[in-house]
Structure 1
Amino acid sequence: MPNRDCLTAPALAVVIPFYNEQDSVAALLTEVERALAGQIDYELIAVDDGSTDDTVSVLTLAAGRVANLRVVRLPRNRGQSAALASGIHAARAPLIATLDGDGQNPPADIARLVDAYRQHDPAGRCVVVGWRRTRNDSALRRLSSRVANRLRGALLGDGCPDTGCGLKVFARDDFLALPRFRHMHRFLPALFVRAGARVISVPVAHRPRRAGRSKYGVRNRLWTGLLDMAGVYWLQRRACRIEYEVDDV
């Protein structure tokens, strides 16, 4: 197991899941390196989620030239939640930043979310979530996301206007204490609220996909999303928070 000594671990781990993103990998990793070099002590963890294209080959080549890069490989496609959890579990840093592998969120915004986390965390635990106020997606995706966010906010009360944004910052230990299930990444703000954390939304840029194809659509998200939402609502209703004081004798 890696040495998690706080004196040797980096301050931040940037975790990026990739699934069949061979044309996006190299440019995105280089962009992260340029955005964070000299700004913060970080490690970069790229997770291959069982890709069937040349994503693994591109990651292998990148490992020799991109600073602080570690590659985690899943033997077959497990989904974004499993890929994120695998990368976060492998991280040595106490603070995590997540980023989608499609390159639509500029890595330059990572530092802004880290700053927001550091400003708010002393007052209590929090998760900082990117807010794509102006989205460069199809009209159908924008509409479906708007409806989903409103329904999710009304039912789960997470106070997050854009829970689907892949750019998030939170403590590693806080994430590892959350319940695990498929598609949990879509409900991270609600799960953090359930655990007693605050949700901080920070406006971020969003750009068109430069390469590859989206893995998500209305059809493959609607019914599973509704089922998952009902499950998270049940978890919230059954939350058990432990509060106690220890008296030294």
Structure 2
Amino acid sequence: MTPQLPQISVVVPVFNEQDNVPPLVHEIVAALRGVVAFEIVYVDDRSRDNTLAVLRDLKAQVPELRVLHHTDQSGQSTAIRTGVKAARGAWVATLDGDGQNDPADIPKLIAERAKGSADVKLFAGWRVNRQDSGSKRWASKWANAIRARMLRDATPDTGCGIKLFERAAFLDLPYFDHMHRYLPALMQRAGWKTVSVPVNHRARTAGVSKYNNLNRALVGIRDLRGVAWLIVRSKRTAVEEV
């Protein structure tokens, strides 16, 4: 018998998250098993702790789990793209590996997709009650305001890790480092609609953040200018088969 292909692939990029892996995997299973055919694709970005060993042990317990491993550390956007390319589902849900996104929100995004129009290719999580430090919330507020003014993507929160999007539409987007922070603008540039969905947000309970406000800001300025350039230079046309 041919195994059933997943309808949803849950892609989780991780770097040094050994203590967050088991609870998050079990939460994903609890949220989706019996609800939709799914797979979990973890992408280890060459962690220096026991993340990969923990994932290997979990594979024996969770048949839906697949594990990919970067031989060179490549960053979150590359890890997400690695997972999406390997995904077997037509739609992909992403989660940050730190446990701050709630897998119980994935069915909510799936429900939004079911009632949405066919030209909506991205359902983006919107953290309405962020559980980060005050400095992170302040930095995110200003970054979102600047991004919205430059890109006009009508998205209140592009930094939220939980998203649901069509795999084919994602793989058709231009790829660059940090692209995961600009998915709404890039999807809209490609001619698709996007929807923001309020989701839960949780405090980190283990491990440490891999970013700080300064490095986010320095990279973000350069990326914003690049994405704005892509939008200005884009050209789309309808195609008819004769």
Determine the C-alpha separation between the residues in 2 that align with 1:141 and 1:117. Answer: 30
What corresponds to 2:112 in structure 1?
A: 116
Matched position secondary structure for 1:220: helix
Determine the C-alpha separation between the residues in 2 that align with 1:195 and 1:157. Answer: 14
Choose which of 196, 203, 207 in structure 1 pairs with 2:191. 196
Give the Å deviation of 1:246: 2.4
Give the Å deviation of 1:8: 3.8
User: For structure 2, which runs of at least 5 residues remain unmatched after alignment?
Assistant: none
RMSD: 1.2
What corresponds to 1:35 in structure 2?
A: 31
Contact 1:113–1:169 under 8 Å retained in 2: yes
What corresponds to 2:41 in structure 1?
A: 45
What corresponds to 2:18 in structure 1?
A: 22
What corresponds to 1:172 in structure 2?
A: 167
What corresponds to 1:131 in structure 2?
A: 126
What corresponds to 2:63 in structure 1?
A: 67
Give the Å deviation of 1:47: 0.5
What corresponds to 1:211 in structure 2?
A: 206
Choose which of 206, 219, 222 in structure 1 pairs with 2:217. 222
Determine the C-alpha separation between the residues in 1 that align with 2:113 and 2:218. Answer: 33
Give the Å deviation of 1:72: 0.7
TM-score by length of 2: 0.97
- 1:57-79 CA deviation, whole Å, 9 max, x = no partner? 00000111013100011012100
Contact 2:15–2:45 under 8 Å retained in 1: yes
What corresponds to 1:233 in structure 2?
A: 228
Give the Å deviation of 1:195: 0.5
What corresponds to 1:154 in structure 2?
A: 149
Choose which of 179, 182, 187 in structure 1 pairs with 2:177. 182
Contact 1:120–1:126 under 8 Å retained in 2: no
Determine the C-alpha separation between the residues in 2 that align with 1:193 and 1:152. Answer: 14
- 1:112-168 CA deviation, whole Å, 9 max, x = no partner? 01111222133x232100110110000000000000111101110111100000000
Are 1:92 and 2:88 matched, yes or no?
yes
Contact 1:105–1:206 under 8 Å retained in 2: yes
Contact 1:33–1:67 under 8 Å retained in 2: no
Determine what percentage of the aligned residue pairs are the same residue: 46
Contact 1:155–1:233 under 8 Å retained in 2: yes
Choose which of 81, 98, 103 in structure 2 pairs with 1:102. 98
Determine the C-alpha separation between the residues in 2 that align with 1:245 and 1:103. Answer: 45
Contact 1:161–1:201 under 8 Å retained in 2: yes
TM-score by length of 1: 0.94
Give the Å deviation of 1:244: 2.4
Supply the AA of the counterpart residue of 2:43: V
Determine the C-alpha separation between the residues in 1 that align with 2:239 and 2:214. Answer: 46
